[in-house]
Amino acid sequence: MRQPELWRAHRRLCETYGDVVHLSMFGEHFIVLGSQQAIFDLLDKQSAATSDRPQNPLIKLCGQGFNFGLYPYGQWWRRHRRVFSQYIPLTVPEEQLLIQHEYATLFLRKLLTDPVALCDHIRYVFSATIVKIMYGVQVANDGDPSVALIIRTLDGLKALLSGQMLVQYLPILRHVPMWVPVLGTQLRQLAEWRAAADEVKQVLFSKTQDDLVQGRENTSVLGRSLQELDEKKGDVNLAEEHLVAMNTCITAFEGAAETTFSTIQGFFLAMSLNRDVQKKAQVELDSVVGPHRLPEYRDRASLPYVDAVLKESLRWHNVAPFGLLHCAGEDVEYRGYFIPKGTTFMSNVWACMHDPEVYANPDRFLPDRFIRDGKLDPEVRDPSDFVFGFGRRICPGRAFAEAQMFDIIAMVLHVFEITPPLDEHGHPIDIEPRVGGTFLLYPEDCRCTLKPRSAQAEALFSGKRSS
Protein backbone atom coordinates (compact mmCIF):
# COMPACT_ATOMS: atom_id res chain seq x y z
CA MET A 1 0.00 0.00 0.00
CA ARG A 2 2.93 2.34 0.57
CA GLN A 3 4.75 1.52 -2.66
CA PRO A 4 5.53 4.42 -4.98
CA GLU A 5 3.27 4.43 -8.05
CA LEU A 6 0.91 1.95 -6.45
CA TRP A 7 -1.17 1.69 -9.65
CA ARG A 8 1.87 0.30 -11.53
CA ALA A 9 2.64 -2.07 -8.64
CA HIS A 10 -0.95 -3.35 -8.77
CA ARG A 11 -0.74 -3.81 -12.52
CA ARG A 12 2.39 -5.95 -12.05
CA LEU A 13 0.55 -7.92 -9.39
CA CYS A 14 -2.29 -8.62 -11.81
CA GLU A 15 0.10 -9.55 -14.62
CA THR A 16 1.50 -12.24 -12.33
CA TYR A 17 -1.62 -13.50 -10.53
CA GLY A 18 -4.58 -12.57 -12.72
CA ASP A 19 -7.08 -9.71 -12.74
CA VAL A 20 -8.65 -10.48 -9.33
CA VAL A 21 -6.10 -10.56 -6.51
CA HIS A 22 -6.71 -10.83 -2.79
CA LEU A 23 -4.49 -8.92 -0.37
CA SER A 24 -4.75 -8.78 3.37
CA MET A 25 -3.47 -6.00 5.61
CA PHE A 26 -3.90 -5.71 9.38
CA GLY A 27 -6.67 -8.30 9.06
CA GLU A 28 -8.56 -6.29 6.40
CA HIS A 29 -9.39 -7.85 3.04
CA PHE A 30 -8.60 -6.02 -0.20
CA ILE A 31 -9.42 -7.18 -3.72
CA VAL A 32 -7.36 -5.66 -6.50
CA LEU A 33 -9.34 -5.52 -9.76
CA GLY A 34 -7.05 -5.25 -12.76
CA SER A 35 -9.30 -5.44 -15.84
CA GLN A 36 -12.36 -3.78 -17.33
CA GLN A 37 -14.19 -7.11 -17.13
CA ALA A 38 -13.60 -7.65 -13.42
CA ILE A 39 -14.37 -4.01 -12.55
CA PHE A 40 -17.65 -3.90 -14.51
CA ASP A 41 -18.73 -7.36 -13.32
CA LEU A 42 -18.25 -6.48 -9.67
CA LEU A 43 -18.82 -2.74 -9.36
CA ASP A 44 -21.47 -2.24 -12.06
CA LYS A 45 -23.37 -5.50 -12.41
CA GLN A 46 -23.25 -6.36 -8.71
CA SER A 47 -23.59 -2.74 -7.70
CA ALA A 48 -26.32 -3.39 -5.13
CA ALA A 49 -23.81 -5.39 -3.12
CA THR A 50 -20.62 -3.44 -3.86
CA SER A 51 -21.57 0.23 -3.37
CA ASP A 52 -20.54 0.55 0.24
CA ARG A 53 -17.49 2.61 1.26
CA PRO A 54 -14.78 1.44 3.64
CA GLN A 55 -15.22 3.23 6.98
CA ASN A 56 -12.34 4.52 8.98
CA PRO A 57 -12.01 6.82 12.02
CA LEU A 58 -9.73 9.06 9.94
CA ILE A 59 -12.75 10.29 7.93
CA LYS A 60 -14.18 12.09 10.97
CA LEU A 61 -10.79 12.88 12.46
CA CYS A 62 -9.78 14.93 9.42
CA GLY A 63 -13.11 16.77 9.33
CA GLN A 64 -14.68 14.86 6.44
CA GLY A 65 -17.68 13.49 8.34
CA PHE A 66 -19.97 15.65 6.17
CA ASN A 67 -18.72 14.27 2.83
CA PHE A 68 -21.47 11.99 1.54
CA GLY A 69 -19.05 10.55 -1.03
CA LEU A 70 -17.51 8.71 1.91
CA TYR A 71 -20.75 7.60 3.60
CA PRO A 72 -21.71 3.96 3.92
CA TYR A 73 -24.28 2.78 1.38
CA GLY A 74 -27.72 3.31 2.90
CA GLN A 75 -30.62 5.70 3.47
CA TRP A 76 -28.58 8.62 4.82
CA TRP A 77 -26.24 8.51 1.76
CA ARG A 78 -29.24 8.12 -0.58
CA ARG A 79 -30.91 11.28 0.77
CA HIS A 80 -27.81 13.34 0.06
CA ARG A 81 -27.28 11.87 -3.37
CA ARG A 82 -30.92 12.57 -4.28
CA VAL A 83 -30.58 16.25 -3.32
CA PHE A 84 -27.34 16.47 -5.31
CA SER A 85 -28.89 14.97 -8.44
CA GLN A 86 -31.98 17.16 -8.15
CA TYR A 87 -29.90 20.35 -8.35
CA ILE A 88 -26.88 19.15 -10.37
CA PRO A 89 -28.67 16.95 -12.94
CA LEU A 90 -26.97 15.07 -15.76
CA THR A 91 -28.34 17.53 -18.29
CA VAL A 92 -26.52 20.61 -17.08
CA PRO A 93 -29.05 23.47 -16.75
CA GLU A 94 -28.54 26.54 -18.93
CA GLU A 95 -27.98 28.85 -15.94
CA GLN A 96 -25.16 26.62 -14.65
CA LEU A 97 -23.54 26.56 -18.11
CA LEU A 98 -23.71 30.36 -18.15
CA ILE A 99 -21.97 30.67 -14.79
CA GLN A 100 -19.30 28.19 -15.92
CA HIS A 101 -18.73 30.26 -19.05
CA GLU A 102 -18.60 33.54 -17.17
CA TYR A 103 -15.89 32.22 -14.84
CA ALA A 104 -14.02 30.61 -17.74
CA THR A 105 -13.86 34.05 -19.42
CA LEU A 106 -12.51 35.53 -16.21
CA PHE A 107 -9.95 32.71 -16.18
CA LEU A 108 -8.72 33.76 -19.64
CA ARG A 109 -8.26 37.32 -18.38
CA LYS A 110 -6.28 36.10 -15.39
CA LEU A 111 -4.06 34.02 -17.68
CA LEU A 112 -3.41 37.08 -19.80
CA THR A 113 -2.46 39.38 -16.94
CA ASP A 114 -0.49 36.89 -14.84
CA PRO A 115 0.32 33.71 -16.83
CA VAL A 116 2.96 32.57 -14.33
CA ALA A 117 0.29 32.00 -11.67
CA LEU A 118 -1.39 29.38 -13.90
CA CYS A 119 -2.05 26.89 -11.10
CA ASP A 120 -3.59 29.55 -8.84
CA HIS A 121 -5.93 30.56 -11.66
CA ILE A 122 -6.95 26.96 -12.36
CA ARG A 123 -7.63 26.51 -8.67
CA TYR A 124 -9.62 29.74 -8.65
CA VAL A 125 -11.81 29.04 -11.68
CA PHE A 126 -13.08 25.67 -10.46
CA SER A 127 -13.48 26.66 -6.80
CA ALA A 128 -15.17 29.98 -7.57
CA THR A 129 -17.59 28.44 -10.10
CA ILE A 130 -18.82 25.70 -7.78
CA VAL A 131 -19.09 28.08 -4.80
CA LYS A 132 -21.17 30.46 -6.93
CA ILE A 133 -23.44 27.67 -8.16
CA MET A 134 -23.89 25.96 -4.82
CA TYR A 135 -24.06 29.03 -2.52
CA GLY A 136 -24.51 32.08 -4.72
CA VAL A 137 -21.35 33.51 -3.16
CA GLN A 138 -19.09 35.52 -5.44
CA VAL A 139 -15.45 34.78 -4.77
CA ALA A 140 -13.63 37.95 -5.78
CA ASN A 141 -10.19 36.76 -6.84
CA ASP A 142 -7.34 34.34 -6.17
CA GLY A 143 -6.24 36.33 -3.12
CA ASP A 144 -9.75 36.38 -1.58
CA PRO A 145 -9.44 35.10 2.02
CA SER A 146 -12.53 32.92 1.51
CA VAL A 147 -10.67 30.96 -1.21
CA ALA A 148 -7.81 30.28 1.17
CA LEU A 149 -10.30 29.21 3.82
CA ILE A 150 -12.26 26.96 1.47
CA ILE A 151 -9.11 25.38 0.15
CA ARG A 152 -8.06 24.48 3.68
CA THR A 153 -11.02 22.06 3.88
CA LEU A 154 -9.44 20.17 1.01
CA ASP A 155 -6.26 19.53 2.97
CA GLY A 156 -8.09 17.04 5.19
CA LEU A 157 -9.54 15.27 2.17
CA LYS A 158 -6.18 15.18 0.44
CA ALA A 159 -4.56 13.72 3.56
CA LEU A 160 -7.25 11.06 3.67
CA LEU A 161 -6.65 10.19 0.03
CA SER A 162 -2.87 10.29 0.37
CA GLY A 163 -2.90 6.94 2.17
CA GLN A 164 0.00 8.27 4.28
CA MET A 165 -1.73 8.86 7.63
CA LEU A 166 -0.79 6.16 10.12
CA VAL A 167 -4.10 6.37 12.05
CA GLN A 168 -5.83 5.19 8.89
CA TYR A 169 -4.25 1.77 9.24
CA LEU A 170 -4.07 1.52 13.03
CA PRO A 171 -7.05 3.45 14.48
CA ILE A 172 -5.85 2.80 18.03
CA LEU A 173 -3.10 5.37 17.38
CA ARG A 174 -5.63 8.20 17.63
CA HIS A 175 -5.38 7.89 21.41
CA VAL A 176 -1.65 8.65 21.36
CA PRO A 177 -0.78 11.88 23.27
CA MET A 178 -0.06 14.96 21.16
CA TRP A 179 3.58 15.22 22.35
CA VAL A 180 4.58 11.91 20.69
CA PRO A 181 6.87 12.73 17.72
CA VAL A 182 5.38 12.28 14.20
CA LEU A 183 2.07 10.91 15.42
CA GLY A 184 1.40 13.87 17.70
CA THR A 185 2.09 16.21 14.78
CA GLN A 186 -0.29 14.27 12.56
CA LEU A 187 -3.01 14.40 15.22
CA ARG A 188 -2.57 18.16 15.70
CA GLN A 189 -2.80 18.60 11.95
CA LEU A 190 -6.02 16.59 11.90
CA ALA A 191 -7.53 18.87 14.54
CA GLU A 192 -6.70 21.94 12.40
CA TRP A 193 -8.35 20.42 9.32
CA ARG A 194 -11.44 19.55 11.34
CA ALA A 195 -11.74 23.11 12.54
CA ALA A 196 -11.25 24.50 9.00
CA ALA A 197 -13.88 22.18 7.52
CA ASP A 198 -16.43 23.04 10.23
CA GLU A 199 -15.80 26.74 9.75
CA VAL A 200 -16.16 26.68 5.94
CA LYS A 201 -19.30 24.58 6.03
CA GLN A 202 -20.90 26.93 8.50
CA VAL A 203 -19.67 30.21 6.99
CA LEU A 204 -20.91 29.41 3.47
CA PHE A 205 -24.22 28.09 4.73
CA SER A 206 -24.78 31.20 6.85
CA LYS A 207 -23.98 33.53 3.93
CA THR A 208 -26.72 31.97 1.80
CA GLN A 209 -29.15 31.86 4.70
CA ASP A 210 -28.40 35.48 5.44
CA ASP A 211 -29.24 36.48 1.85
CA LEU A 212 -32.65 34.87 2.22
CA VAL A 213 -33.32 36.43 5.61
CA GLN A 214 -32.34 39.87 4.26
CA GLY A 215 -34.56 39.37 1.20
CA ARG A 216 -31.62 39.40 -1.25
CA GLU A 217 -32.02 37.27 -4.34
CA ASN A 218 -30.10 34.00 -4.12
CA THR A 219 -30.87 31.43 -6.81
CA SER A 220 -28.01 29.10 -5.89
CA VAL A 221 -28.54 25.41 -5.18
CA LEU A 222 -28.56 26.04 -1.43
CA GLY A 223 -30.69 29.17 -1.79
CA ARG A 224 -33.37 27.34 -3.76
CA SER A 225 -33.18 24.29 -1.55
CA LEU A 226 -33.66 26.36 1.64
CA GLN A 227 -36.59 28.21 0.10
CA GLU A 228 -38.26 24.99 -0.98
CA LEU A 229 -37.75 23.51 2.49
CA ASP A 230 -39.18 26.60 4.06
CA GLU A 231 -42.38 26.10 2.04
CA LYS A 232 -42.64 22.50 3.34
CA LYS A 233 -41.57 23.26 6.88
CA GLY A 234 -44.59 21.73 8.60
CA ASP A 235 -44.06 18.39 6.81
CA VAL A 236 -40.33 17.82 7.18
CA ASN A 237 -37.71 17.71 9.88
CA LEU A 238 -36.20 21.08 9.02
CA ALA A 239 -32.99 20.73 11.05
CA GLU A 240 -32.24 17.39 9.44
CA GLU A 241 -33.06 18.64 5.93
CA HIS A 242 -30.81 21.67 6.49
CA LEU A 243 -28.01 19.35 7.48
CA VAL A 244 -28.51 17.28 4.30
CA ALA A 245 -28.45 20.45 2.17
CA MET A 246 -25.38 21.77 3.97
CA ASN A 247 -23.48 18.48 3.59
CA THR A 248 -24.48 18.10 -0.04
CA CYS A 249 -23.23 21.56 -1.01
CA ILE A 250 -19.87 21.25 0.65
CA THR A 251 -19.42 17.71 -0.76
CA ALA A 252 -20.11 19.09 -4.23
CA PHE A 253 -17.38 21.64 -3.67
CA GLU A 254 -14.92 18.98 -2.55
CA GLY A 255 -15.86 16.58 -5.35
CA ALA A 256 -15.38 19.29 -7.93
CA ALA A 257 -12.35 21.18 -6.74
CA GLU A 258 -9.40 18.78 -6.83
CA THR A 259 -10.39 16.47 -9.69
CA THR A 260 -10.97 19.21 -12.24
CA PHE A 261 -7.98 21.21 -10.99
CA SER A 262 -5.62 18.32 -11.55
CA THR A 263 -7.14 17.29 -14.93
CA ILE A 264 -6.74 20.80 -16.33
CA GLN A 265 -3.19 21.03 -14.99
CA GLY A 266 -2.54 17.85 -17.00
CA PHE A 267 -4.17 19.43 -20.05
CA PHE A 268 -1.82 22.46 -19.97
CA LEU A 269 1.18 20.19 -19.59
CA ALA A 270 0.03 18.01 -22.50
CA MET A 271 -0.48 21.06 -24.70
CA SER A 272 2.94 22.53 -24.02
CA LEU A 273 4.50 19.17 -24.88
CA ASN A 274 2.37 18.52 -28.00
CA ARG A 275 2.22 21.53 -30.27
CA ASP A 276 0.88 19.43 -33.17
CA VAL A 277 -2.22 18.50 -31.13
CA GLN A 278 -2.78 22.11 -30.24
CA LYS A 279 -2.51 23.17 -33.87
CA LYS A 280 -5.06 20.57 -34.99
CA ALA A 281 -7.53 21.68 -32.33
CA GLN A 282 -7.02 25.30 -33.35
CA VAL A 283 -7.66 24.54 -37.02
CA GLU A 284 -10.96 22.95 -35.98
CA LEU A 285 -11.87 25.88 -33.72
CA ASP A 286 -11.01 28.42 -36.42
CA SER A 287 -13.20 26.72 -38.96
CA VAL A 288 -16.20 25.92 -36.69
CA VAL A 289 -16.25 28.87 -34.28
CA GLY A 290 -14.36 31.49 -36.31
CA PRO A 291 -12.52 34.59 -35.14
CA HIS A 292 -15.46 36.68 -33.91
CA ARG A 293 -16.58 34.84 -30.80
CA LEU A 294 -15.45 32.48 -28.05
CA PRO A 295 -16.45 28.81 -28.22
CA GLU A 296 -19.18 27.62 -25.86
CA TYR A 297 -20.33 24.31 -24.48
CA ARG A 298 -23.08 24.07 -27.08
CA ASP A 299 -20.35 23.83 -29.77
CA ARG A 300 -19.20 20.49 -28.37
CA ALA A 301 -20.98 18.32 -30.96
CA SER A 302 -19.33 20.29 -33.79
CA LEU A 303 -15.84 20.13 -32.24
CA PRO A 304 -14.97 16.41 -32.18
CA TYR A 305 -11.22 16.98 -32.08
CA VAL A 306 -11.47 19.33 -29.07
CA ASP A 307 -13.73 16.73 -27.46
CA ALA A 308 -11.02 14.14 -28.14
CA VAL A 309 -8.51 16.43 -26.39
CA LEU A 310 -10.77 16.40 -23.32
CA LYS A 311 -11.08 12.58 -23.47
CA GLU A 312 -7.32 12.20 -23.85
CA SER A 313 -6.74 14.61 -20.94
CA LEU A 314 -8.97 12.45 -18.71
CA ARG A 315 -7.16 9.29 -19.85
CA TRP A 316 -3.52 10.40 -20.03
CA HIS A 317 -3.47 12.15 -16.67
CA ASN A 318 -5.82 9.84 -14.80
CA VAL A 319 -6.48 11.88 -11.66
CA ALA A 320 -7.86 9.11 -9.45
CA PRO A 321 -6.05 5.90 -10.48
CA PHE A 322 -8.27 3.77 -8.21
CA GLY A 323 -11.39 5.95 -8.35
CA LEU A 324 -12.84 6.02 -4.85
CA LEU A 325 -12.69 2.75 -2.98
CA HIS A 326 -15.83 0.60 -2.92
CA CYS A 327 -16.54 -2.03 -0.35
CA ALA A 328 -18.80 -5.08 -0.20
CA GLY A 329 -21.95 -4.28 1.80
CA GLU A 330 -22.81 -7.98 1.82
CA ASP A 331 -21.13 -11.29 0.90
CA VAL A 332 -20.47 -11.55 -2.83
CA GLU A 333 -19.59 -14.44 -5.09
CA TYR A 334 -17.52 -13.94 -8.22
CA ARG A 335 -15.98 -16.55 -10.55
CA GLY A 336 -16.41 -19.08 -7.78
CA TYR A 337 -14.57 -16.92 -5.20
CA PHE A 338 -16.27 -16.04 -1.94
CA ILE A 339 -15.80 -12.34 -1.13
CA PRO A 340 -16.92 -11.55 2.43
CA LYS A 341 -18.89 -8.47 3.44
CA GLY A 342 -16.51 -5.63 4.34
CA THR A 343 -13.94 -6.44 1.64
CA THR A 344 -12.49 -3.32 -0.04
CA PHE A 345 -12.25 -3.20 -3.84
CA MET A 346 -9.35 -1.36 -5.44
CA SER A 347 -10.21 -1.02 -9.11
CA ASN A 348 -7.15 -0.18 -11.17
CA VAL A 349 -8.70 2.43 -13.44
CA TRP A 350 -5.24 3.65 -14.39
CA ALA A 351 -4.36 0.20 -15.80
CA CYS A 352 -7.54 0.28 -17.94
CA MET A 353 -6.60 3.78 -19.17
CA HIS A 354 -3.02 2.71 -19.99
CA ASP A 355 -3.70 -0.69 -21.50
CA PRO A 356 -1.53 -0.88 -24.65
CA GLU A 357 -3.99 -3.38 -26.19
CA VAL A 358 -6.68 -0.70 -26.08
CA TYR A 359 -4.64 2.48 -26.43
CA ALA A 360 -1.46 2.11 -28.51
CA ASN A 361 1.47 4.02 -26.95
CA PRO A 362 -0.56 4.73 -23.81
CA ASP A 363 1.99 7.14 -22.34
CA ARG A 364 1.72 9.46 -25.33
CA PHE A 365 -0.94 12.17 -25.59
CA LEU A 366 -2.74 11.27 -28.82
CA PRO A 367 -6.34 12.56 -29.15
CA ASP A 368 -6.39 11.15 -32.70
CA ARG A 369 -6.93 7.70 -31.19
CA PHE A 370 -10.56 8.74 -30.55
CA ILE A 371 -11.19 9.99 -34.09
CA ARG A 372 -12.26 8.09 -37.20
CA ASP A 373 -13.34 9.79 -40.44
CA GLY A 374 -13.37 13.18 -38.73
CA LYS A 375 -15.78 12.01 -35.99
CA LEU A 376 -15.47 10.52 -32.53
CA ASP A 377 -15.06 6.78 -32.93
CA PRO A 378 -17.66 4.99 -30.76
CA GLU A 379 -15.58 1.79 -30.96
CA VAL A 380 -12.77 3.24 -28.84
CA ARG A 381 -13.00 2.78 -25.08
CA ASP A 382 -14.34 6.03 -23.64
CA PRO A 383 -12.30 7.23 -20.62
CA SER A 384 -15.47 8.78 -19.14
CA ASP A 385 -16.83 5.25 -18.59
CA PHE A 386 -13.92 4.64 -16.20
CA VAL A 387 -12.54 7.79 -14.63
CA PHE A 388 -15.88 8.79 -13.08
CA GLY A 389 -16.29 5.50 -11.26
CA PHE A 390 -18.90 2.78 -11.29
CA GLY A 391 -22.32 1.50 -10.33
CA ARG A 392 -24.49 3.36 -7.85
CA ARG A 393 -21.55 5.45 -6.61
CA ILE A 394 -20.61 6.74 -10.09
CA CYS A 395 -19.66 10.42 -9.96
CA PRO A 396 -22.94 12.39 -9.98
CA GLY A 397 -21.04 15.53 -11.06
CA ARG A 398 -19.63 14.00 -14.25
CA ALA A 399 -21.79 15.95 -16.72
CA PHE A 400 -21.14 19.18 -14.84
CA ALA A 401 -17.39 18.44 -14.84
CA GLU A 402 -17.23 17.57 -18.53
CA ALA A 403 -19.17 20.68 -19.49
CA GLN A 404 -16.89 22.96 -17.53
CA MET A 405 -13.67 21.29 -18.65
CA PHE A 406 -14.76 21.24 -22.29
CA ASP A 407 -15.62 24.93 -22.15
CA ILE A 408 -12.26 25.81 -20.60
CA ILE A 409 -10.22 23.62 -22.98
CA ALA A 410 -12.00 25.00 -26.06
CA MET A 411 -11.70 28.62 -24.90
CA VAL A 412 -8.03 28.35 -23.94
CA LEU A 413 -7.10 26.69 -27.24
CA HIS A 414 -9.10 29.25 -29.19
CA VAL A 415 -7.20 32.23 -27.82
CA PHE A 416 -3.80 31.10 -26.49
CA GLU A 417 -0.60 29.49 -27.76
CA ILE A 418 0.77 27.17 -25.12
CA THR A 419 4.49 26.44 -25.30
CA PRO A 420 7.12 25.08 -22.89
CA PRO A 421 8.34 27.35 -20.08
CA LEU A 422 11.49 29.40 -20.65
CA ASP A 423 14.59 29.69 -18.47
CA GLU A 424 16.20 33.04 -17.58
CA HIS A 425 18.03 33.04 -20.95
CA GLY A 426 14.81 32.52 -22.88
CA HIS A 427 15.57 28.86 -23.69
CA PRO A 428 12.76 26.29 -23.45
CA ILE A 429 12.87 24.11 -20.34
CA ASP A 430 12.30 20.39 -20.92
CA ILE A 431 9.53 19.18 -18.64
CA GLU A 432 9.43 15.48 -17.89
CA PRO A 433 5.76 14.58 -17.23
CA ARG A 434 5.67 13.10 -13.72
CA VAL A 435 2.91 12.77 -11.17
CA GLY A 436 2.80 12.91 -7.39
CA GLY A 437 0.21 11.39 -5.01
CA THR A 438 -1.37 8.00 -4.41
CA PHE A 439 -5.16 8.10 -4.65
CA LEU A 440 -5.31 11.58 -6.16
CA LEU A 441 -2.57 12.43 -8.64
CA TYR A 442 -1.20 15.83 -9.63
CA PRO A 443 1.31 16.70 -12.35
CA GLU A 444 4.55 17.58 -10.56
CA ASP A 445 5.32 20.41 -12.95
CA CYS A 446 2.94 22.01 -15.41
CA ARG A 447 4.73 25.30 -16.04
CA CYS A 448 4.25 26.62 -19.55
CA THR A 449 4.33 29.83 -21.56
CA LEU A 450 1.02 31.38 -22.57
CA LYS A 451 0.64 34.00 -25.30
CA PRO A 452 -2.51 35.21 -27.06
CA ARG A 453 -2.72 33.74 -30.57
CA SER A 454 -3.42 37.18 -32.03
CA ALA A 455 -4.65 40.64 -31.08
CA GLN A 456 -8.05 39.62 -32.41
CA ALA A 457 -8.12 36.53 -30.20
CA GLU A 458 -7.14 38.65 -27.18
CA ALA A 459 -9.91 41.15 -27.92
CA LEU A 460 -12.50 38.36 -27.57
CA PHE A 461 -12.06 38.24 -23.81
CA SER A 462 -9.84 41.07 -22.62
CA GLY A 463 -12.19 43.95 -23.25
CA LYS A 464 -9.48 45.57 -25.42
CA ARG A 465 -10.11 46.33 -29.07
CA SER A 466 -7.97 44.74 -31.78
CA SER A 467 -6.58 47.27 -34.25
Residue from 260, 278, 344, 438 binding ligand HEM (CB under 6 A): 260
Residue from 396, 421, 437, 443 binding ligand HEM (CB under 6 A): 396
- Give me the least distance between CB of 393 and ligand HEM, in Å please: 3
Among residue numbers 68 through 87, which ones bind ligand HEM (CB under 6 A)?
Answer: 69, 81, 84
Closer to ligand HEM at the Cβ: 39 or 190?
A: 39
Distance CA 420, CA 271 (A): 9
CB atoms within 10 A of CB 307: 24
Instruction: Find the angle CA(409)-CA(413)-CA(414) to the nearest 5 degrees.
Output: 115
Q: What is the DSSP string of 55-98?
A: --HHHHHTT-TT-GGGSPSSHHHHHHHHHHHHHS-SS--HHHHH
Question: Pick from 279, 275, 284: which is nearest to 307 by CA?
Answer: 284
Among residue numbers 304 through 323, which ones bind ligand HEM (CB under 6 A)?
Answer: 319-320, 323
- Give me the least distance between CB of 100 and ligand HEM, in Å please: 10
Residue 37 CA: distances (Å) to CA of 12, 115, 352, 386, 431? 17, 43, 10, 12, 35
Residue from 56, 96, 127, 259 binding ligand HEM (CB under 6 A): 259
Tell me if 135 contacts ligand HEM by CB under 6 A.
no
| Pure H helices in 232-303 | 238-273, 275-288
Residue from 63, 156, 223, 255 binding ligand HEM (CB under 6 A): 255
Q: How many residues bind ligand HEM (CB under 6 A)?
A: 27
Do residues 415 and 461 touch, judged by C-beta distance below 8 A? yes
> Going residue by residue from 34 to 73, which x/- string records binding to ligand HEM, judged by CB under 6 A?
-----------------------------------x----
What is the maximum span of the chain, computed from C-alpha positions, in angstroms?
72
Closer to ligand HEM at the Cβ: 81 or 414?
A: 81
352 annotated as ligand-binding: no
Tell me if 350 contacts ligand HEM by CB under 6 A.
no
Burial of 16 (0-12, 13-18, 19+ CB in 10 A): exposed
Annotated binding site for heme, which residues?
Answer: 395
Note the residues at the interface with ligand HEM (CB under 6 A): 69, 81, 84, 88, 251-252, 255-256, 259-260, 263, 319-320, 323-324, 326, 387-390, 393-397, 400-401
Report the binding-site residues: 395
